[in-house]
Amino acid sequence: MALDLLDRYLLGEAVPKAELVKTLLANPAAAPSAAPFYRALAAVGARAADEAFIALRLVLRGEAPTDGAVRELRGLVARARGPEGPARESARAAYRARVGGTV
3-state percent helix, strand, coil for the chain, nearest multiple of 5: 70, 0, 30
- What's the predicted TM-score (pTM) here? 0.92
Closest CA to 98 of 67, 66, 63: 63
Report the pLDDT value the prediction gives residue 102, as an integer from 0 to 100. 52
Report the pLDDT value the prediction gives residue 52, as an integer from 0 to 100. 96
Report the pLDDT value the prediction gives residue 10, as an integer from 0 to 100. 96
Report the pLDDT value the prediction gives residue 84, as an integer from 0 to 100. 92
Task: Count the neighbouring beta carbons within 10 Å of the beta carbon of residue 78.
Answer: 12
What burial class does residue 81 get, using C-beta atoms within 10 Å of its C-beta: 0-12 exposed, 13-18 middle, 19+ buried? middle
Domain ranges of the chain: 2-99
Q: What is the pLDDT along the chain (103 residues), one digit of tens a residue?
A: 799 999 999 999 999 999 999 999 999 999 999 999 999 999 999 999 999 999 999 999 999 999 999 999 999 999 999 999 999 999 999 999 999 865 4
d(CA 11, CA 14): 9
